[in-house]
Chains A and B, each alone.
Chain A
Amino acid sequence: MKSIELIGKGKEMHGRAYIEVMPDELENAIKKLKENGFNHFVMLSCIDWLEEEKFELVYHLWSYEVKEHVMLSVRMNRNNASMPSMSHLFPQIETYEREIHEMYGIEFDGNNRLTPFLLENWHHAPPMRKDFDSEKFVGKLYESIPFIEEDENEGI
């Protein structure tokens, strides 16, 4: 596959190229792909590998010339996770970074728009992290709010 040849490593997975890079190689890898026809940035996704104490970010790019989907994967430690922002390469990355910052709590150095995005007034732990106990949270918040019962004797 063209992208694997360009970067010099990686493997084919379900018809896509899957390339693992180190955080410091990421910027050059994206640049190189962008200059060689992979000029459609599809999305940025995030995976929480709780047991391995890692976060994985996957940068999806697409080339219309060779019709090839490439996934650039980069891993980082779960504690104080941070990654340089790539929004100068593709401006739309800024929005994905905002979302991932809100949902997983990853810092993106160089992105100065990491403000609250989808959630309003949220002040608990980032909710998409695997150690966020959603069921317990629901019990403590939504289920503990009382129903409004009518006073039988009074009526309305």
Chain B
Amino acid sequence: MGLYIGDKMMKYEEWSKLAIKVSKASLWMLHFCTGCGAIEMPPVMTSRYDMERFGIAPMATPRQADVLLITGYLTVKTLRRVIQVYEQMQSPKYVIAFGSCTINGGMYWDSYNTIKHLEKYIPVDVYITGCMPRPEGIINAFIKLMELIDEGKARGWEKYQKYYDKYKENQRRVFNFEIEGENEEY
């Protein structure tokens, strides 16, 4: 199977690699505004920092988006919605996670109800450190993501397909607040 570019035949695999490479110049994002980080999105989107300079545009639905932004802490209840959104997106898809809360729980490290490491439930391509990150940090993360896409390293979505069962198992455990091997009260 292949595609003709001029009179040159291009293999399908080559074509899809090329398509992914060029798609980096127009990242359409879906911002899942949880936590505090959402407040940093308006300046990034509007004239002050103007992310459209970099070809990044906000999208209305998951099916049209390439990048999912998780902008802060997630409760277990929200995580369920995030996963529904993530699974509706079409590959190739990327995740950018904001702030310490998605890295290790941040200031909610001992909360009974927030997940601590987003990475355990969906693959994350780029983390932004800070609590909360500055608009420059957010733009920087997009640039980093573009580099990773260019180098073929932003492959979280493939990881999700490959280890789908493991991800599902982790998700199931956290949704049911399932503690292994005991029913002790806390």
- Chain A residues with a Cβ under 8 A of chain B: 118-125, 127, 132-138, 140-148, 150, 156
Bound-state CA distance A145–B186 (Å) is: 18
Stretch of B38-46, B85-93, B138-146, B162-170 with 4 or more beta carbons under 8 angstroms from chain A: B162-170
Stretch of B8-16, B17-25, B62-70, B175-183 with 4 or more beta carbons under 8 angstroms from chain A: B175-183
Known: A120-B77, A125-B186, A141-B174. A148 touches B112 (CB 8 A): no
Majority SS of interface residues in chain B? loop
Chain B residues 142 to 158 lying within 8 A of chain A, measured CB to CB, are: 155, 158
By a CB distance below 8 angstroms, the chain A residues around B117 are 142, 147
By a CB distance below 8 angstroms, the chain A residues around B163 are 148, 150
How many chain B residues sit at the interface, stated as a range, is 20 to 34
Name the contact of A135 in the complex, choosing from B110, B167, B173 (C-beta under 8 A). B110
Name the contact of B186 in the complex, choosing from A120, A133, A150 (C-beta under 8 A). A133
- Chain B residues with a Cβ under 8 A of chain A: 76-77, 80, 105, 109-113, 115-117, 119-120, 123, 155, 158-159, 162-163, 166-167, 170, 173-180, 182, 185-186
B158 and A134 within 8 A (CB): no
Known: A119-B77, A148-B120. A124 touches B177 (CB 8 A): yes
A134 and B110 within 8 A (CB): yes
